[in-house]
Amino acid sequence: MNHRLKLKAIYIIISIVLILTATIVKSYIFHSAEFFLYGLALIIGGYYKTKEGILKIIKNKGLNIEVLMILAAIGAFVINEYAEGAILIFIFALSGLLENYANAKSEKALTNLLNLAPDRAILLKEEKEVEIDAKDLKVGDIVIVKVGSQVPADGRILFGSTSINESMITGEFLPVDKKVGDEVFSGTINESSTFTMSVTKDMKESTVQKIIDFVEKAHNNQTKTETFIEKFEKIYVYVVIALSILIMTLPPLLGQWTLSDGVYRGIVVLVVGSPCALVASVSPAVLSSLSNASRAGILIKGGKHLEVLAKIDTVILDKTGTITEGKPEVRELYFEVDDEPLVYDMVYSLEKQSTHPLARAVVEFLKDKNELTVTSSEIPGKGIESIYEGNLYQVGNFNVEISISLKERIDKAQKEGYTTVYVSRNSILIGFISLIDKVRPQVKDTIQRLNELNINTILMTGDNRYSADNIAKKAGIKYVLSNLLPEDKHMHVSSLKTEGRTVMMVGDGINDAPALAVSNIGVAMGSGTDVSLETSDIVFMNNHIQNIEKSILLAKRMNQIALQNIVFSIIIIGLLLFSNIFGLIILPIGVLAHEGSTILVILNSLRLLRN
């Protein structure tokens, strides 16, 4: 518990001790001692809420429920119902504390992330080691990273090799082996040996910083219901005050009730009419869910998305890196040319400039080839190309002329389930690479359970039809869309949306960022790529595909609990207000029922912290 929460708890405890003392001594001691003790309990118990109430008045330029409750308590004192006034404020403060608790839980997830950001770095300057603030590092700086310390910036290894714990950004607990030329990320931990690296990104641009920004955004991203309730609260407070004054004055004026009955019932209106429970219906539920999700490695960019998530009826999965592990392996390279060595070097050099998983696999396979100096350009969803010595080389799935003999070989490879990457010179196919990628083991189960939830699943890929069908069969997915460019993926998602579907798109951020952005909920697998953090609404840090089902179920539970809370609190308020008109509610009952319902609602929400 943080400091402020502790302080609040202490104030609340003092307040209840005073209330209990007052209740015990009131039959023995004279009236003023009772007044004094309850009064003190009210002031101490209500200190924080009064402060919050006043700050909110200044901020929103209007009244709020804090003010209502304080008015009600003062009213109770005016009519000599000291105990009720003090208890009202005590329970009100207690429910506030519970709400803060839910908040603190989800904020803890955030501060844990903030701690991720490294603070010191050992800079190598004119062959001397200088310790500096990590945030002062600039692109191009050379840094030494000792064993056991945090990598201070995103960069590349210059000397040495090591294994690095990247669990804080990938959720994967197995350390990753790194050698010269490999990328390292700030905030990750060097586990085995000292290495030297060069900084490639400013702190602002680093992966860790993007994760932190993502989570911070979540806190400013309310659900629609929350926004509605907040607006409602502002108006409703005045309605309750007006109703209370009306009840205090009108029936006595008309000679129906005595004035003291009127004032009493008016104060009951202030107590029971205020929407404490309603206001506490949604936010603690949202915060508890966000915190629950983040413990499972699911980062959600705010409560708004939890609301949509519960309504998802279509889940589209990207193939490479989402359904498959994204670690393809080359089976073979096949070329029909006279200058094979050059072509090998060319393929190696081109793919080396791409971050696509297929490209990485090819580079790994051809790592003993020579690197040529080529300037390349990458076309998302197609591949990579370059002009070298007057010839256009393309690697990917460009539209090219294909000879019959090559066509047969390619068809065969594709039918066997291989992904094929074409290699062409001047738009004529000269060979191809076949690769195979494993389907993630949990995919089949996840798809089956989504289908049981009546959620449609669709596979979407830029890869060829055969390879797509093959993977879809292994995954248990019936609908397949293949041979798509990034803009086609975008188009399919939008048209499903126009059909009235609520679409979740799950991708790895490579070649599917536009589709992620346009879907109702864009989910990025892994936090490795920067685009994914910017365009997606949810990130699965640990690549666990089961998280699709888990997050949808969590959202459904949250919406259900929020609905229970809203209905319950409205019914209680209505019942109490109605019975009060007939004088059926005495103040102690009003206080208990009203504040009790608020606490119940919050406790109901805190259930979402658990699975």
The catalytic residue positions are 318
Residues 343-362 that bind ligand ADP (CB under 6 A): 351, 354, 356, 358-359
Minimum CB–partner distance for residue 151 and ligand ADP (Å): 27
Between residues 154 and 508, which has the closer beta carbon with respect to Mg ion?
508
Contact between 125 and 113 (Cβ < 8 Å): no
With CB under 6 A as the contact rule, the residue among 190, 221, 314, 320 that binds ligand ADP is 320
Distance between CA atoms of 475 and 437, rounded to whole angstroms? 13
With CB under 6 A as the contact rule, the residue among 8, 56, 319, 557 that binds ligand ADP is 319
**In the structure encoding, which two tokens stand for residue 440, read together?**
């993630």
Q: Which residue is nearest to ligand ADP (CB)?
A: 462
Contact between 431 and 336 (Cβ < 8 Å): yes
With CB under 6 A as the contact rule, the residue among 75, 396, 526, 528 that binds ligand ADP is 396
Distance between CA atoms of 414 and 422, rounded to whole angstroms? 12
549 binds Mg ion (CB under 5 A): no
Contact partner at residue 529 from Mg ion, ligand ADP, none, CB < 5 to 8 Å by partner kind: none
Between residues 84 and 463, which has the closer beta carbon with respect to ligand ADP?
463
Q: Which residue in this structure is represented by tokens 């039809």?
A: 465
Contact partner at residue 482 from Mg ion, ligand ADP, none, CB < 5 to 8 Å by partner kind: none
Cα 538 from chain centre: 5
With CB under 6 A as the contact rule, the residue among 117, 395, 472, 555 that binds ligand ADP is 395
Distance between CA atoms of 206 and 188, rounded to whole angstroms? 12
Between residues 510 and 561, which has the closer beta carbon with respect to ligand ADP?
510
Contact between 467 and 420 (Cβ < 8 Å): yes
397 binds ligand ADP (CB under 6 A): yes
Minimum CB–partner distance for residue 183 and ligand ADP (Å): 16
**In the structure encoding, which two tokens stand for residue 72, read together?**
């009600």
462 binds ligand ADP (CB under 6 A): yes
Size of the site for ligand ADP (CB under 6 A): 22
64 binds Mg ion (CB under 5 A): no
Distance between CA atoms of 507 and 526, rounded to whole angstroms? 9
Antiparallel, parallel or unpaired: β 195-199 and 142-145: antiparallel
Q: Which residue is nearest to Mg ion (CB)?
A: 320
Contact partner at residue 590 from ligand ADP, Mg ion, none, CB < 5 to 8 Å by partner kind: none
421 binds ligand ADP (CB under 6 A): yes
With CB under 5 A as the contact rule, the residue among 455, 510, 531, 602 that binds Mg ion is 510
Distance between CA atoms of 594 and 73, rounded to whole angstroms? 13
492 binds ligand ADP (CB under 6 A): no
Beta bridge partners of 175: none
With CB under 6 A as the contact rule, the residue among 424, 461, 536, 559 that binds ligand ADP is 461
3-class state of residue 73 by DSSP: helix
482 binds ligand ADP (CB under 6 A): no
Letters for 320-349 (x = contact with Mg ion by CB under 5 A, - = none) are xx----------------------------
With CB under 6 A as the contact rule, the residue among 511, 519, 547, 604 that binds ligand ADP is 511
Minimum CB–partner distance for residue 482 and ligand ADP (Å): 9
Select from 140, 106, 103, 135 the least CA-distant residue to 118: 135
Between residues 361 and 577, which has the closer beta carbon with respect to ligand ADP?
361
Residues 371-390 that bind ligand ADP (CB under 6 A): 381-384
The alpha-carbon radius of gyration of the chain (Å, integer) is 32
Taking residue 570's Cβ as centre, other Cβ atoms within 10 Å add up to 14
- Helical residues (DSSP H) of 476-586, grouped into ranges: 486-498, 513-518, 530-535, 547-581
Contact partner at residue 558 from ligand ADP, Mg ion, none, CB < 5 to 8 Å by partner kind: none
Contact partner at residue 303 from ligand ADP, Mg ion, none, CB < 5 to 8 Å by partner kind: none
CA angle 235-236-242, nearest 5°? 100
Residue 476 burial (C-beta neighbours within 10 Å; 0-12, 13-18, 19+): middle
Minimum CB–partner distance for residue 306 and Mg ion (Å): 26
Using the 8-state DSSP alphabet, how is residue 324 labeled?
B
Using the 8-state DSSP alphabet, how is residue 528 labeled?
-
523 binds ligand ADP (CB under 6 A): no
Distance between CA atoms of 326 and 318, rounded to whole angstroms? 11
359 binds Mg ion (CB under 5 A): no
With CB under 6 A as the contact rule, the residue among 143, 199, 280, 510 that binds ligand ADP is 510
141 binds ligand ADP (CB under 6 A): no
440 binds ligand ADP (CB under 6 A): no
Cα separations in angstroms, 420 against 64, 306, 354: 64, 39, 17
Contact partner at residue 397 from Mg ion, ligand ADP, none, CB < 5 to 8 Å by partner kind: ligand ADP
Distance between CA atoms of 53 and 64, rounded to whole angstroms? 7
The one-letter amino acid code at 215 reads V
Beta bridge partners of 392: 387
Antiparallel, parallel or unpaired: β 521-525 and 314-318: unpaired
Torsion of CA 255, 259, 261, 267, to 10 degrees: 130
Contact partner at residue 528 from Mg ion, ligand ADP, none, CB < 5 to 8 Å by partner kind: none
Minimum CB–partner distance for residue 485 and ligand ADP (Å): 7
Antiparallel, parallel or unpaired: β 479-481 and 456-460: parallel
**In the structure encoding, which two tokens stand for residue 303, read together?**
């409560």
Distance between CA atoms of 340 and 425, rounded to whole angstroms? 12
Contact partner at residue 462 from Mg ion, ligand ADP, none, CB < 5 to 8 Å by partner kind: ligand ADP
Minimum CB–partner distance for residue 292 and ligand ADP (Å): 30
Q: Which residues here bind Mg ion, judged by CB under 5 A?
A: 318, 320-321, 508, 510
Q: Which residues bind ligand ADP (CB under 6 A)?
A: 318-320, 351, 354, 356, 358-359, 381-384, 395-397, 419, 421, 461-463, 510-511
